[in-house]
Amino acid sequence: MESFHPLETLPGRGDHDAISVASWVSVCPRGLWNVQQKRMCDGSQQTVSSSVDACSPGYYPRLGSLCRVRVRLKGSVGEAESSVSERRSEKLEVEPDRSVSEVTESVATPFLRCKDSVLQIPLGDWTTLKLGEGQCDVTEACLERMRAGEKCEIHLSQVGNGADVTLPHPSDENLLLCATVELQAFTPGKESWEMSPGEKWEWVKSHKQRGGVRFRSGDVWGAAQSYSQALKLLITLCGHFRDVEKKGHENEAEEQRNTNTAGDTQQLPSANEFRTIKAELHSNLSLCQLKLNQPERAKASAAKATQLEPGGAKAWYRLGQACQMVNELEEAKRAFRKLLELQPELPAALKALKDIASREKETNAQLGLRLSKMFS
Task: Look at residues 190, 221, 255 and tell me which one is the last residue of a structural domain.
Answer: 190
CA distances from residue 264 to 195, 206, 274 in whole angstroms, order as listed: 9, 17, 17
Residue 284 sits in a domain whose CATH number is 1.25.40.10
Establish if 21 belongs to a structural domain.
yes
- Can you tell me the distance from the alpha carbon of 149 to that of 181, in angstroms, rounded to the nearest whole number? 11
Kindly state whether residue 374 falls inside one of the protein's structural domains.
no
Dump strand ranges (E) for 42-150: 66-73, 126-130
Q: Which domain holds residue 223?
A: 197-367
In this prediction, residue 16 has a pLDDT band, given cuts at 50, 70 and 90, of: very low
Mark which of 144, 173, 190 sits at the end of a domain: 190
Based on the domain organization, do 244 and 185 belong to the same domain?
Answer: no
Can you tell me the distance from the alpha carbon of 246 to that of 225, in angstroms, rounded to the nearest whole number? Answer: 32
Residue 376 lies in a domain: no
Nearest to 268 by CA among 282, 255, 284, 283: 255
Q: What DSSP state is assigned to residue 105?
A: T
Q: For residue 4, what are the contacts with CB-CB under 8 A and spacing of at least 6?
A: 22, 23, 24, 141
- Residue 270 included in any domain: yes
| pLDDT 10s digits, 215-240 | 999 999 899 999 999 999 999 998 88
Report which of 171, 180, 169, 179 is spatially closest to residue 116, judged by C-alpha positions: 169
- Considering the domain architecture, whether residues 202 and 186 belong to the same structural domain is answered as no
**pLDDT greater than 80 at residue 160:** no
User: What Rg value do the Cα atoms of the chain yield, rounded?
Assistant: 25
**Same-domain status, 307 and 218:** yes
- pLDDT digits 0-9 by tens, 302-357: 999 999 999 999 999 999 999 999 999 999 999 999 999 999 999 999 999 999 99
Q: Is 44 exposed, middle or buried (0-12, 13-18, 19+ CB in 10 A)?
A: exposed
Residues 108 and 160 in one domain: yes
Same domain as 270, residue 186:
no
Digit-coded pLDDT (tens) for 83-127: 444 444 444 343 444 455 566 567 899 888 887 778 888 999 999
Rounded Cα–Cα distance for residues 29 and 221 (Å): 7
Which one, of 35, 39, 73, 72, lies nearest residue 155 by Cα? 35
Alpha-carbon distance 231 to 229, whole Å?
5
Residues 72 and 116 reside in one and the same domain: yes
Instruction: Looking at the structure, tell me whether residues 186 and 226 fall in a common domain.
Output: no
Residue 206 forms part of a structural domain = yes
The reply to whether 250 and 361 lie within a common domain is yes
Angle of CA points 85, 221, 167, to nearest 5°:
80
Q: Are residues 236 and 131 in the same domain?
A: no
Percent of the chain's residues with pLDDT above 70? 72
Do 177 and 211 fall into the same domain?
no
Name the E strands within the chain: 3-4, 8-11, 18-28, 31-41, 66-73, 126-130, 151-158, 178-186
Cα 158 from Cα 200, distance rounded (Å): 33
Determine how many CB atoms are found less than 10 A away from the CB of residue 211: 25
In a domain, 75, yes or no: yes
Q: Which helix (H) or strand (E) holds 289?
A: helix 271-291
Q: Is residue 373 part of a domain?
A: no
- Report how far residue 332's alpha carbon sits from residue 47's, in angstroms, rounded to the nearest whole number: 55
Q: Nearest 5°: CA angle at 248, between 247 and 254? A: 70
Amino acid at 104: T
| pLDDT of 242 over the 90 cut | no
Is 372 part of any domain? no
Model confidence pTM above 0.85: no
Please name the amino acid found at residue 21.
Answer: V
pLDDT tens-place string over residues 32-60:
789 999 976 554 444 333 333 434 445 89
Instruction: Mark whether 316 and 201 lie in a shared domain.
Output: yes
DSSP string, 6-18: PPEEEE-SSTT-E
Domain boundary among 190, 222, 242: 190
Domain identity same for 20 and 161: yes
Count: domains in the chain = 2
What pLDDT score was predicted for residue 343?
A: 96
User: Given its phi and psi angles, is residue 165 left (phi above 0), alpha (psi -120 to 50 degrees) or beta?
Assistant: beta
Cβ–Cβ < 8 Å for 283, 303:
no
